[in-house]
Structure 1
Amino acid sequence: MKKIGLIGGMSWESTALYYQNINRDVARRLGGLRSARVHLVSLDFQEIADLQKQGDWLRMTEILQTAARQLESSGAEVLLICTNTMHRIAPEVQSVTPLPLLHIADVTADAVLAAGLHKVGLLGTRFTMEQAFMRDLLAARGIACLVPDEAGRAEVHRIIFEELCRSVVLESSRQKLIALVQQLVAQGAQGVILGCTELTMILRPDDAGVPSFDTTALHAMAAVDFSLS
């Protein structure tokens, strides 16, 4: 069993889901009391969130590069960045370590294409919905992404940072997200990517009425595939 290295804490809520998903899948596949060999560097999300607001991606790159080196030194054999947004700097993190870094967009694209879909809605932080790093990688695989309008993007971002990252899950917010998904479906989305690792806390697989793709679970399962390969 290869050791899985997690760069987490962004937020700790979704990192807990990674740990849970990884260990449950290892136990399901291997039986008994088997659990994953996981190494974790958990960052202080307040520091990262402040840097995101400032647009200081250079400093965030330095922090995640340090975490990657720590995991390599600890004996980890594969790396995961446990957040969609911070994949904006995935190439820079990969550049400082020979360890393979499993990219969340790659495993998501695999799942979307396996479902036979080519146009999907994308929900996430403003960074994920508005910047190109996620959408371009999906487009390179032949997947077009639709995102909510300006007001919708602002509301999704607010729900993530002001509620989900603080362990607050409100039915009213779930209904708002469902309405946004329905708008994207009306525009031609065949499915929806839950492109923020906290969104699985509030949206259930059948909420959208179309296939949904939980990037947290997909990323975690890819880690188990690698670990047991």
Structure 2
Amino acid sequence: MPRILVWDVAIRLVHWLMVILVPLLWWTAEEGHMDWHRSLGLTMFALVLFRLIWGLVGTWTARFLPMIRRLGSLKSYLAHLRTRKYNPSFGHSPLAVLGVFALLTALATQIATGLFAVDVDGLESGPLAILISFDTGRQLAEIHEFNFNLLAILIGLHISAVAVYHFLFKATLVGPMITGYRLRADFPEQTLPENRPRLVPAIVAVALTLGFVVAILNF
């Protein structure tokens, strides 16, 4: 049966790299491997920054504006779910849009505070901590620690939601995030937006991301 591209390779790569990085960042912080933690943190910074840029210039399912517009149907979407009626969304569902924005906000907060955080003895700090005072750096370190707990809760909710959709609504969510494709028959009688790969915007997004990372490394 004919298939259609739902998630471009950039979205899928960023998603699964984040899945790998979050537990690694937690482990390196818990075990005191701060050199690794900083390197992995900069990698996460690059992923989050790229995702934010890609949300402006990427494929249709990656862009934030269509996601925001989809929030207008959140009430009716929830009403259908309560009656066990599940209609697959091309891209993020209205409920998933809230999850995406919540997770990106938590990740961006985690990265921003980590860039400036300072530990108790001042020996370990983020690459931009030199720009602020010690006391401010300590406050940001505390926010950094607290925000990770919030991030962990959001991740737990995300995993739980995927499980509910899988077992209760028999929805196929993980597979398309691996292959990028779904069957056209999953969206009957729907006129789907153009979702072709965008090479030039992808190159621009990568170049901007690398430029910011290099600037931080050479600060």
Q: TM-score, normalised by structure 1?
A: 0.27
Q: Higher helix proportion, which one?
A: 2
Q: Higher strand proportion, which one?
A: 1
Structure number with greater Rg is: 2
Which fold has the larger relative contact order, with Cα–Cα distance below 8 Å and residues 6 or more apart in sequence? 2
